Amino acid sequence: MQERMEWELVPRVREERRDVVERLAGEILSLDALLEVAPNRMTEAQKKRLIELQGKMEECAVSPCEAAGTPRLSTREGWVEQVKRLFEERGVSGRIPFDDFLGLMGGQHDCSSCRGRSGHPGVSGIPCQFDLTPLPSILGDDPITDQVHFELEPDEMTALASDINERLICGIYNRVAGMDSRAYLEDAVRFLLFWSALGFGVAPAFVRVRG
C-alpha cells in the first residue's frame, strides 16, 4: 500500500447560518470523539444523530459547485445522448426508468466545465481536489513545504501561492522524473488562488492506495 496526499476544500459557511454551525459543531465534535475513542459504545441512536447533524452542517455550507458557478450537466450540448449511453453501459435499466435517471443526471453539476477544476486531481478523481503527493519533492527542503501538512485559511493559501510563484519565477524547484514539475506548480498556484478568492480553505487528506 502507498500513501498519497491531496488537498480537499474546506466548506465555506453561509454567513446567515454561522450561528447554527456553531451550535451544531459542539455536538458533532463530541460524537466524533466517541466514535474515534470508543466506537463499540456508540448507540444506533447516536450514530443516526451524527449523520443527521452532518447533513444539517452541509446545508449550512456553500458548495464548491455553487460558489464557482459550475453549470448543470443539462446545459451541455448533446447531454441526453451522453446520459443514454451511460444508462446503457451501467446496466441500470430495470432498476430506474430512463426519464428518472435523466432527471437525476441533468441536475448534477458538470465538473468538466468547472473553472476551478484541478489539472492534478486527487485519488478520488474529484476535480476540485488537488494531488499533493509530488509537491514536497518538487519544493524540496524549504519551510513552505511544511505548510502542505496543515489546514490553510484563504489568506494562507494566497500567501503560499505567492511563495510558490516566486520559486517558479526564479526557477528554484526540483525537476521530478515522469512529470512536468513547472506545469504542476503553476496548477497548484492557480488552484490556491481560485478557491481562496471564493472563500474556501484547504485541508490535507491522506489516502492509502495499492501500489
Domain co-membership, 87 together with 166: no
* Residue that terminates a domain, selected from 90, 108, 126: 108
Domain co-membership, 113 together with 102: no
Domain co-membership, 103 together with 119: no
Amino acid, res. 127: P
Q: Into how many domains does the chain fold? A: 2
Domain co-membership, 78 together with 67: no
Instruction: Give the residue-averaged pLDDT of 62-74.
Output: 85
pLDDT of residue 202: 94
Domain co-membership, 67 together with 147: yes
Q: Is the dihedral of CA 161, 167, 168, 174 positive or negative?
A: negative
Instruction: Give the residue-averaged pLDDT of 142-156.
Output: 89
For the segment 11-65, what is each residue's pLDDT rounded down to a tens digit? 777 766 777 767 777 777 887 777 777 778 778 888 888 788 777 777 777 888 8
Domain co-membership, 135 together with 177: yes
pLDDT of residue 92: 65
For the segment 108-120, what is each residue's pLDDT rounded down to a tens digit? 778 888 899 999 9
Split at pLDDT 50, 70, 90, the class of 7 is: very high
Cell of 138: 518538487
Is the predicted pLDDT of residue 188 greater than 80, yes or no? yes
Split at pLDDT 50, 70, 90, the class of 103 is: confident
Is the predicted pLDDT of residue 82 greater than 90, yes or no? no
The boundaries of the domain holding residue 130 are: 2-71+109-209
| H-state helical runs in the chain | 18-37, 44-59, 64-68, 79-89, 98-106, 135-139, 154-170, 181-197
Separation CA 176–CA 181 (nearest Å): 6
Residue 152's CB: how many other CB atoms inside 10 A? 21
pTM of the model: 0.75
